[in-house]
Amino acid sequence: MIRGVRGAITVKENSETEIIAATEKLLKIMIDENWVEPDAVASVFISVTEDITAAFPAKALRLFAGWDYVPVMCMREIPVPGSLEKCIRVMMHVNSASAQDEIRHIYLEEAVRLRPDLKAGKR
């Protein structure tokens, strides 16, 4: 069964260093919390808000051993007025035996506002 593993994080500034570091932090937690192996991943979509332009966050995934051949795509979020700024969102499509309610979606920094119902310890 393919499951979607979601996550999001915000950055304080539009710099390559911060974008890559924040994305790496988010991906590491998503991978660790859901026991994801690269061979089980069909694809990864990464979206950013309009104010993130200094780097492709997908570069962070290439820092992980074994993730060289996982298809990754970056795209821009819809610029809805009043929406969260400087936000990086990830959707990882993973082959998993886990039930939907067993998947751990990860929201960090200001992105916790996107899904307050999924705070740590809540499912």
Which active-site residues does the annotation give? Answer: 6, 62, 74, 77, 89, 107, 115
Task: Report the amino acid identity of residue 68.
Answer: D
Collapsed DSSP state (helix, strand, coil) of residue 33: helix
State the Rg of the chain over Cα: 14
Collapsed DSSP state (helix, strand, coil) of residue 73: strand
10 Å Cβ neighbour count for 62?
Answer: 13
